[in-house]
Amino acid sequence: MSSLSGGAHILQCANDLVSENNSKVKGLTNQIDIADHQVAAPEPPKRERFSLNCPHVADADNKDVHIEVTWTLDDTVLLKIRDGHPIVLFNKTSFYKKTFKDKHVVHVELSGRYMFNYDELTGDFMMEINEVQPFDDFGSWQCHITRKRGHESISESTRKTIVAPPGAVERRESQASDGMQL
C-alpha cells in the first residue's frame, strides 16, 4: 500500500467524520429550533395594583359611633356606606355584608376590578384596584370618612393619584360624551 493511498484513505475518513459531525450539528440545531418554538410566550406585563387606605377610626367598634365612608374618583362618587348600609353604589358587581353586635363588615366589588372594604370592627376602611388600567383609572382617588358620636362629628380624608398617560384625558372626555362609564 502506498503512502498516497493511505493519505487518501485518511482524507476519506476525515471527510466522513466531518460529514457525520455536520449531520449531528444540524440535528442539534433542529432540536434547538424546535425547543425554541416550544418555549412559552413571555408573560404579558403585570398590571399594577392600587390601594388607598382610609383614615383609621380607633373607636369604630363603639356602639355609639356612627361611620360614613365615601370613595370618589375625581368628582364621581363610586361608593358611599353609612353605618354598614350602602347609600350610593356605582355599577355594583357583588356585595357582601356581615353584622356582629350591631357593627358591620362590608365588602363591595364594582366592575370586577374595584374592591372596597368597610370594617367597623377594626376601624379599617380601604379600596383596591386589581389590575390598574391607566386610561380608565387615572385621577384623584379619595376616601372620606365622617365619624359621628352624639353631637360630635369628625371628618378626615386620604387622597392618592394615578397619573394620566398621554391621550387619556381626551379619551375619557370622548367616552363621557358617548355615555361610557367605568
* 125 strand-pairing partners: 118
Q: What confidence score (pLDDT) does residue 135 get?
A: 79
When comparing pLDDT for 107 and 44, which is higher? Answer: 107
Each residue of 108-150: pLDDT tens digit?
A: 998 888 999 999 999 999 999 998 987 789 899 999 999 999 9
Can you tell me the distance from the alpha carbon of 107 to that of 119, in angstroms, rounded to the nearest whole number? 9
- The region of weakest confidence among 38-47, 63-72, 103-112, 154-163 is 38-47
pLDDT band at residue 19 using 50, 70 and 90 as cut-offs: low
Residue 180 clears pLDDT 80, i.e. is over it? no
Beta strand extents in 54-166 (DSSP E only): 65-73, 76-82, 85-89, 92-100, 103-110, 114-119, 124-129, 139-149, 152-162
Q: What confidence score (pLDDT) does residue 41 get?
A: 47
Each residue of 53-103: pLDDT tens digit?
A: 999 999 999 999 999 999 999 989 989 999 999 887 777 678 889 999 889
Q: Is the dihedral of CA 117, 80, 145, 153 positive or negative?
A: negative
pLDDT band at residue 11 using 50, 70 and 90 as cut-offs: very low
pLDDT band at residue 29 using 50, 70 and 90 as cut-offs: very low
Q: What confidence score (pLDDT) does residue 169 get?
A: 76
